[in-house]
């Protein structure tokens, strides 16, 4: 299912396509919830604290790290969150435990992350059409690379740009501009597919004049006003049909 807000922007085949990762290629919330539950269980059992104490310490740690590091890749670091959480609990940095909790988080996260239907099929369509593709994603390179490999997408995308490489999270222009420089598209019709109306939709439109496609599913709110996308997309099979139609025009 799709909803075209600006159908005139889909009258030509894209020269390149950019993809967000988290909550765009897969549903983020269930994976995150499972990962946090696994870490909470381990922390509560290890240190004999209550779930409420864990939650309070983690929330405080996350807010502190994000406030300090602002819009950088490391502001998303689970390792830093867990290190600071342990310090807030009163246990010091506990480096080995912080590493263990981070590994527990990501191991559980990945085992509960499920790729949306037709992602690989869409990427195959783009590859066969000779249209370059790139992942433009926040967070550190190592974990985003791990996600791409876990999903079996490492041979589907031509390039990847993380906010660690770019120096800024989206919606800063830098990640989008670096992605364009890597792909070197032959024209200026660039599709950007993402879930976040500010970071992905407004960010890509402001930075590179992208044709914007917002991936919709439970928990995602459609962008409005200056954050409104050119298309609302619920399943990738529908976008495959839009791409096919552009190629026949």
Question: Any idea which residues carry the catalytic annotation?
Answer: 20, 22
Whole-number Å distance between alpha carbons of 42 and 100: 10
Are the C-beta atoms of residues 240 and 118 closer than 8 Å to each other? yes
Q: What tokens were used for 74?
A: 């490391």
Whole-number Å distance between alpha carbons of 175 and 163: 6
What are the backbone dihedrals phi and psi of residue 2, each rounded to the nearest 5 degrees, phi first?
A: -135, 160
Query: What does the CA dihedral 77, 81, 83, 88 come to, rounded to 10 degrees?
Result: 160
Transcribe 116-145 into DSSP letters.
PTTHHHHHHHHHHTT--EEEEE-S-HHHHH
H/E stretch holding 97:
helix 95-111
Dihedral sign from CA coordinates of 208, 120, 161, 113 = positive
């Amino acid at each position: 299912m799709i909803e075209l807000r600006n159908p005139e922007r889909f009258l030509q085949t894209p020269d390149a396509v950019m993809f967000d990762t988290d909550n765009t290629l897969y549903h983020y919330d269930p994976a995150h919830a499972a990962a946090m539950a696994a870490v909470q269980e381990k922390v509560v059992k290890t240190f004999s604290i209550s779930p409420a104490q864990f939650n309070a310490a983690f929330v405080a740690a996350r807010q502190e790290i994000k406030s300090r590091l602002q819009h950088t890749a490391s502001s998303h670091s689970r390792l830093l969150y867990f290190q600071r959480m342990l310090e807030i609990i009163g246990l010091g940095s506990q480096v080995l435990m912080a590493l263990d909790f981070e590994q527990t988080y990501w191991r559980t996260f990945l085992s509960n992350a499920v790729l949306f239907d037709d992602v690989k099929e869409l990427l195959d369509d783009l590859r066969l059409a000779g249209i370059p593709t790139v992942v433009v994603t926040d967070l550190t390179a190592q974990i985003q690379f791990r996600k791409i490999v876990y999903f079996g997408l490492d041979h589907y995308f031509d390039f990847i740009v993380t906010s660690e490489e770019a120096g800024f999270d989206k919606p800063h222009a830098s990640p989008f501009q670096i992605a364009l420089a890597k792909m070197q598209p032959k024209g200026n019709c660039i599709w950007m597919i993402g879930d976040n109306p500010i970071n992905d939709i407004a960010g890509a439109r402001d930075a590179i004049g992208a044709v914007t496609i917002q991936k919709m599913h439970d928990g995602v709110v459609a962008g409005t006003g200056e954050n409104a996308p050119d298309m609302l997309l619920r399943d990738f099979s529908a976008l495959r049909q839009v791409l096919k139609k552009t190629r026949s025009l």
